[in-house]
Amino acid sequence: MIKIFLAGLALLILALLIYATTKPDTFFVQRSAHIQAPPEKIFPLIDSFHQWEKWSPWENVDPGLKRTYSGAESGVGAIYEWDGNKHIGHGRMEIIESTPPTKLRIKIDFLSPFEG
């Protein structure tokens, strides 16, 4: 009886592993929010990483957060790197597409405490 149970469990695990190999190695996350303000007023606040301290809730989690800005001042090529405590970690963001005032795409890399 126990051999049948173990064989069934092994088969279930094997099926799960086979299923997992059919899934892509990357994923895409998209979020949206509706803000009662004209896009022309909001867009400059998100198109420049220098403005993020004014509105981002993550900026207040670590008072000792170290920020580094490079690349363009705003828009495509603007880069923001941060290094903070265990709650913030270390990472990098880069604006890869900017179409004022309607579209902004940001590539974000988490380096620590985990890569992602």
Rg (CA), the chain: 21
Contacts of 98 (CB under 8 A, 6+ apart): 47, 74, 75, 76, 104, 105
CB 78 within 8 A of CB 72: yes
Give 11-27 pLDDT, tens digit per residue.
Answer: 999 999 999 889 888 87
Average pLDDT of the residues in 94-106: 96
Give 44-73 pLDDT, tens digit per residue.
Answer: 999 999 999 999 988 889 999 999 999 999
Distance CA 8, CA 14 (A): 10
**CB atoms near residue 83 (< 10 Å):** 17
pLDDT at residue 31 in the model: 84
